[in-house]
Amino acid sequence: MSRFVRPLLALLGALLVACEQTPPAPPPGPQTPSALARRYFGKKPDGKLHVYFFDVGQGDAALIVSPGGETVLIDAGPAAAGTHLANRLPELLSDKLDYVVLTHPRPEHYSGLAAAVGAVGAHKLLEPQLPNTPSDYDALIASLGGQGVEIVSPATTTPEEPLRLSLGEETALTVLWPRAPHEPLLPGESELNGLVLRLTYKDTSVLLMGDTRAKTESRLLELQAPVSATLLKVGAHGADSASSAAFLAKVHPRAAILSTGEEGTAAKAVLDRLETARARVFRTDRDGEVHAVSDGKSFTLITQRLPENAQQDTPPVFAGLNDAPSPTAAAVQPASGRPVAKGMEGSKAPVDINLLDEPASNAKTTWKQIPVPKTPEVEPQAPTMGGRMLYVASSQSVRKVFHKPDCRNAKKISPKNLVTFTSRSEAAKHYEPARDCNP
């Protein structure tokens, strides 16, 4: 038989066997999120930095949407958070996640990731690559790699430069710790070597401490790492073994976000230290999801639930580093009566990452209140369709939010400005959920 015909017949035989062994198509019925066509409802980039600190109980999960539309999911909470993230992320994304970052191999950081990525997809995964990780964590990483997600190491090729992920539009996410192999890992518990990240956009910044503790904070201070930040994502869910007074004094955050499961989880000593540092505290157990928006000059923080006894929906604004008063200036008393923190000396980072760290000395305050537009006194009848209430919004509202028709603020919408939606997903394409009724 010709030497050309023999391999051709072998190839045809293999194809026939493969066809015979092809499994039948699965019957119709419920499928996993990864098997379904992914849907995205997020808005187009608006030129602002958005950071969503999700309410995932006792765990961590945050989404970064850069001014240009690049996206990063940092941690994914415990297993119970998977369904919530699988529903919430499509409302905020317009495509696959550019990055997923796992800061630490503990279940409250990674157990919800399979469901989250299954719903929206991801291009790359950054994780600390620590030794002696749990078997289910290793299986998760292997599964994501098998789905085509590229696994990225925090290590860099040059000892002087930390890993810096450019998110465009003067936005970057820098890994401050760990710095292996150029810096040895800290001995002891693995929490000490989880990822510490600093997100920067022009004059504003967010420091995300993951699950690290006071020993990691001390090491960062020794290295003179650029830890100053407008917002602090408090480490270790507010455990007393983190957020030392010396570290908070160097970070000098204007606001601090605690991702906790219930009141009392955060140590009182930590809350006291944050109060001493004059950082306004936001907690997911009390405030729900916290949405931070930066225009490059300041951060506006919008909470899912309004504070108790709040008379108006007025999100606070926290100025960036370059708008802080000088370290010698006296604290300024804003209209609310809450003292404003003194400024913080610029950190002397060993590496120039082309971002602003030094505060100016001529600003007056570190945060301010924005005015609330007057609302009409008309109370239209709550619209329904076939007896089912719709979601509503105002076409003229300053804050683009939608409500349930029976919300108190929904009843103030003038009929001529009333916009209705037949589903929540349709409303989420154009508006954010209001905080007064959690639609």
Tell me the pLDDT tens digit for each residue of 77-130. Answer: 999 999 999 999 999 999 999 999 999 999 999 999 999 999 999 999 999 999
- Tokens for 414, please give them: 């003038």
Confidence band, pLDDT 50/70/90 cuts, at residue 190: confident
More confident residue, 396 or 218: 218
Cα angle at 314 between 309 and 317, to 5 degrees? Answer: 125
Shared domain for 413 and 353, answered yes or no, is: no
Return d(Cα 316, Cα 338) in angstroms, integer.
12
Instruction: Provide the sign of the torsion angle of the four alpha carbons 101, 70, 174, 358, taken in this order.
Output: negative
Average pLDDT over residues 153-178: 89
- Please check the confidence at residue 325 and state whether its pLDDT lies above 70: no
Residues 321 and 388 in one domain: no
CA atoms 33, 36, 42, 44: torsion sign:
positive
In a domain? residue 186: yes
Q: What pLDDT was estimated at residue 28?
A: 46
- Identify the domain boundary among 369, 394, 409: 369
- Mean pLDDT (whole number) for 312-338: 52
* Arithmetic mean of pLDDT, 358-369: 30
Check residue 26 and give its pLDDT: 45
Residue with the larger pLDDT of the pair 241 and 332: 241
Do residues 55 and 147 both lie within one domain?
Answer: yes
1-16 confidence digits (pLDDT tens): 444 434 444 444 444 4
Do the Cβ atoms of 169 and 46 come closer than 8 Å? no
Cα–Cα distance for residue pair 21/25, rounded to 1 Å: 12
- Domain extent, residue 210, equals 47-369
Q: Which amino acid is at 191?
A: E
Instruction: Report the pLDDT value the prediction gives residue 312, as an integer from 0 to 100.
Output: 58
User: pTM score > 0.75 for this model?
Assistant: no
Upper half-sphere CA count for residue 154 (Cβ side, 13 Å): 28
Same domain, yes or no: 407 and 304: no
Shared domain for 63 and 190, answered yes or no, is yes
Residue 52 binned pLDDT confidence (cut-offs 50, 70, 90): very high
- My answer on whether 248 and 102 are in the same domain is yes
- For residue 328, pLDDT over 80 is answered with no
At residue 420, the pLDDT reads 82
Give yes or no: residues 143 and 208 share one domain.
yes
pLDDT at 161: 82
For the segment 186-192, the average pLDDT, to the nearest whole number, is 87
Q: Do the domain assignments include residue 333? A: yes
Q: At what angle do helices 135-146 and 113-120 cross, to 10 degrees?
A: 10
The answer on 216 and 147 residing in a single domain is yes
Q: What is the mean pLDDT of residues 17-31?
A: 44
- Indicate whether 323 pLDDT > 60: no
389 and 294 within one domain = no
Q: What is the pLDDT of residues 411-439, one digit of tens each?
A: 778 776 788 877 777 777 777 787 666 67
Mean pLDDT across the chain, nearest whole number?
77
- Provide the domain count of the chain: 2
CB atoms within 10 A of CB 246: 12
Q: Which of 110-114, 228-232, 238-242 has the lowest mean pLDDT?
A: 238-242
Which is more confident, 263 or 340?
A: 263
- In 277-331, which residue ranges form alpha helices assigned H by DSSP? 284-287
Question: Of the ranges 140-149, 236-245, 384-393, which one carries the lowest mean pLDDT score?
Answer: 384-393
Q: What is the mean pLDDT of residues 152-158?
A: 84
Tell me the mean pLDDT in the region 349-366. 31
